[in-house]
Structure 1
């Protein structure tokens, strides 16, 4: 079926706004600079009626020179994007703080911010990957795991997460990574050679057993 010009323009408009949404996520992930994002916005403004496009209007009205611009951008994202987007941004933020940190107190503080994102009613495998880290930390107290090995695995996981989120170009791919988690062969990297060999319980099945 041949689309009329109005329909074609509408489809093009949706595609452009989706691109802007993607770029706003890239800005918060540190993939593009705020200057590059502003250029993308202002190019769009040239051909768009801001009164009719509230999201674009709100994006343009953020002062990206303000140190708190990320707070305002996050508010818009929370209102206009899938709920998984905020989870992705939080995982990335705290993973960034963990991956190169050596202070255990700071590592634990940021790790538990990720741990708090776990929703037992949502099947986000990436968060279950972090849950398995907590399972191993529980074994440290009874000397079945060495703390330094678990922390090393956590930092490796966080580094991998940061790389993956930045390499995936589209939001839907980032959401798929949140849902699917690490591949099995990638999880092997998290196990150190000198680590005590323990069989980690399948966390989801364990939870479902007691649910």
Structure 2
């Protein structure tokens, strides 16, 4: 019975070897195994020459470095191809309007609708509007609520003077009854006029600002 089991194991082992798919290329592990096997089976009376051994280990070190460089280069190519693919896919957003998280906005002759979310019940809510030079042009107090809020700005400054259409930004400060500042998240919207790459990231150009994909809330025609 023991002999029969041994034969079965031998047959199985041979079968596995025969079914094993041969490698088309040798890697650094194969090279190292060959080197170790050579050392284990060398003639004790005629060992491997030191200079020859050093040459082989040097070859192994060079092979390992080349393989590592090749792997890094392949990853770089994959990242570049993935980045280009994302860029080409993002082109379909051009001429579409997107809602996004951010405080930049573009005002036309009628002004602009500002949107923001407040986490908590505010006792006071103040909105500050700045022009494209960073100068404050408007401060207004509104009645904020917990959740979604909107404010329609008529493009006038603190003196009631009509300003020119253009690019602006805004800030919202909401405080509770104890004077503690509440978390506020601002959002805006605009039409996508272009798509570009910044590093390995794809961004959407709205003219007055650039928006990253993870900042987009919604997209519509």
Q: TM-score range by the shorter chain?
A: under 0.3
Q: Kindly indicate which of the two structures has a greater share of residues assigned to strand.
A: 2
Larger Rg: 2
TM-score under structure 1 length normalisation: 0.27
Q: Answer 1 or 2: higher relative contact order, Cα 8 Å, separation at least 6.
A: 2
Higher share in helix: 1
